[in-house]
Structure 1
Amino acid sequence: MFSGRSCRVAVNFRSWSPTQAEWTFAAQCVQGEEKERISKFMFKKDAKSAMVGRLLLRYAVSKILGIPCRALQFGRTEKGKPYLVSPIDKTTMRSDLSFNVSHQGDYVVLAAERGNNVGVDVMKVEWPRNTPVSSFFKTMHRQYTDQEWSEVKCYSNERDQLKVFFRLWCLKESVVKALGIGIGFEVSRLNFNFHCRDISEGQVVTDTTVDIDEDPAPEWSFEESFLDGHCIAVAVNHASKDCSHLSGDGDSCNLANQFQVMDIQEVLAGCEVLIGSVPDKDFWETFHIKEEEPKPS
């Protein structure tokens, strides 16, 4: 799972009902500014997703680099993308490891890659809102190209339309996150070309391509998965500028890049209390009294 040049991991955070001991321990395993950010969420589900994301990141990077969790120090760019502050190569003053975390629906997902910039996004295919799907599509019209809307509308069933819509959104967000440039990037500049129309559970589609500003961008490759009702997209920006050799036939399953589902207990068991961190009872009390999620309107 954590060998070679890449890893892909997912954790179902919604199934976790942390005990006081687990939540207190988890808080001791993340940096102070991360803990403070987590404490500000209004609902448990959001606090849990953020906490699992930080724990999974520390756990995975520790395993990939073969160093203790407590030795890792992370920072964030101005646009909010996490990066490794320490340890780094003293010659280049940087790490060759790129990583990205996303959380939505029921899952936190992580993608890490050596030597290439990576971005990941996950979206649950569901529509709990009161707004009709057709009205929502109208508000999002400018974010997609005509070709992409044709892919969405080729299905008559709204569920299938939403699956394609979220698939495309994950792809767009994965590129933006790999670039690390935040919301300033106009995703309508991206046009994705499907060679495989549908993605099945347990399959990894690798032959989707992208045009940027109407020009082919062969330096990008994509891995698309469907996990328990969630679309997942990983974007990898290759230094070689040509990743055509990585594209599959759309029907094959790349076992090396399948997302491995981990239990939160396994992640917790692999984390370590940071030096100087002490148990914080108030952190648990603040979390414990929160509602799990907003009440339906």
Structure 2
Amino acid sequence: MTAPYLNQTPEQSATPAKVQTALSPTAVHLWWLPLPRSAPVEAVESLLSADERQQARRFRRPAAAQQFCLGRARLRTILGSYLGLPPQHLRFAYTPNGKPYLPETPHLTFSLTHTGDLGLLAVTCHRRVGVDVEAPHRRANWRGLARRCLSDAAYRTLGTLPDEEQRQAMTWYWVCHEAWLKARGEASLRRLLRIDLPWARACAGDASHITMQDVSGQTWLIRNVSRDGICAALVVECAPDASIEVVIFDWSLDWRWLPQT
């Protein structure tokens, strides 16, 4: 079996300097964002709201606080580029489950995640969206996670694979599950929910994308957007016959692209 998170060729790719940030009705934009914990926070703090700066102070580890500030600053900068607004003018609100959104422009939807020093942001219009990333071998107790989350049938199927393929399959399956919960706004409930995704299709080595329906009849596209050994999944709400265009943006490792104020 081929590793489930081998790099896939994106439908389109671009660099931010060459592409105007405008979304078509059928597009999802994915932004790979370096989030180095060594980046100077002072350069971006002015872009954040007072509650974001207060939230950063709650982190026990300074590196985590720096990463949070940089991630929020880049999120604000990118969303502001779509809306034609300065980053610091954006106002976030939160659902009861903690999912951020823009109450003044609810048509623009997004999902931000990170692993280590690398972040991934999905942006689209008029549809729910979620992304998740996972570094290889990050979860030491992946067997325990599989036993707790998978159905008995799926767990038995997992056990038939060679050991390394079990880890790879569970990593891919987990990011699909996390991205789906984020798209549905249920990420804070993950401990209460069992994974209920098409196991056999999700773990197929050639499954660059999967379409599934949830219990309410809503159709979701699950797309493999992994790269450079990082396992990543995009989940987006769509019509049964919809064609979703995924455009990939790669930002320079230079953090200084953020606007200074």
The TM-score by the shorter chain falls in which range? 0.7 to 0.9
Mind listing any 5+ residue stretches in structure 2 that lack a counterpart? 1-18
Q: Who is 1:197 aligned against? A: 204
Q: Is the 8 A contact 1:58 1:271 kept in 2?
A: no
CA distance 1:264–1:79, shift in 2 (3 Å): farther
Structure having greater relative contact order (Cα 8 Å, sep ≥ 6): 2
User: Which 5+ residue runs of structure 1 have no aligned equivalent?
Assistant: 89-94, 248-255, 274-297
Equivalent of residue 119 in structure 2, options 108, 112, 119:
108
Larger gyration radius, structure 1 or structure 2: 1
The alignment partner of 2:162 has SS state of coil
Aligned to 1:188: 194
Q: Does the alignment pair 1:269 with 2:257?
A: yes
Q: Which residue is 2:94 aligned to?
A: 76
Per the alignment, do residues 271 and 145 of structure 1 end up closer, same or farther by CA in structure 2, a change over 3 Å counting?
A: farther
| 1:184 CA displacement | 2.6
Residues 127-170 of structure 1, C-alpha deviations (whole Å, 9 max, x = no match) = 474xxx5xx41354131234543564443132x32221111111
Specify the alignment match of 2:38 in structure 1.
17
- The superposition leaves residues 209-247 of structure 1 with CA deviations (integer Å, 9 ceiling, x where unpaired) of 34545x8x5611122122222111111112x3x1x4548
1:149-208 Cα offsets, whole Å, 9 max, x none, are 3564443132x3222111111111111111113333544252225277237xxxx922x2
Give the equivalent residue in structure 2 for 1:3: 22
> 2:208 touches 2:224 (CA, 8 Å); kept in 1?
yes
Q: Which residue of 2 aligns with 1:172?
A: 177
Are the structure 2 counterparts of residues 195 and 137 from structure 1 closer, same or farther at C-alpha, using a change threshold of 3 Å? closer
Give structure 1 regions of 4+ aligned residues with deviation exceeding 4 angstroms. Answer: none
Measure the CA separation in 1 of the matches of 2:237 and 2:101: 16
Identical pairs, percent: 20
User: Matched residue pairs, number?
Assistant: 237
Please give the alpha-carbon distance, in whole angstroms, between the structure 1 residues aligned to 2:144 and 2:183: 27
Aligned residues of 1:222 and 1:234 also touching (Cα < 8 A): yes
| Aligned-partner residue type, residue 211 of structure 2 | T
> Letter of the aligned partner of 2:259 in structure 1?
C
Superposed, which structure 2 residues align to 1:108-187 within 5 Å? 108-127=119-138, 129=140, 133=141, 136-146=142-152, 148-149=154-155, 152-158=158-164, 160-184=165-189, 186-187=192-193
What is the alpha-carbon root mean square deviation over aligned residues? Answer: 2.8
Task: Give the one of 229, 249, 252 matched to 1:260.
Answer: 249
Residue matched to 2:211: 209
Conserved? CA contact 2:74–2:258, under 8 Å: no
CA shift for structure 1 position 31: 0.8
Task: State the match for 1:231 in structure 2.
Answer: 231
- Residue of structure 2 aligned with 1:96, choices 96, 104, 107: 107
CA displacement, residues 51-94 of structure 1 (integer Å, 9 cap, x when unaligned): 232112111111222222233111222211111134x3xxxxxx
Change beyond 3 A, Cα 1:85–1:195: closer
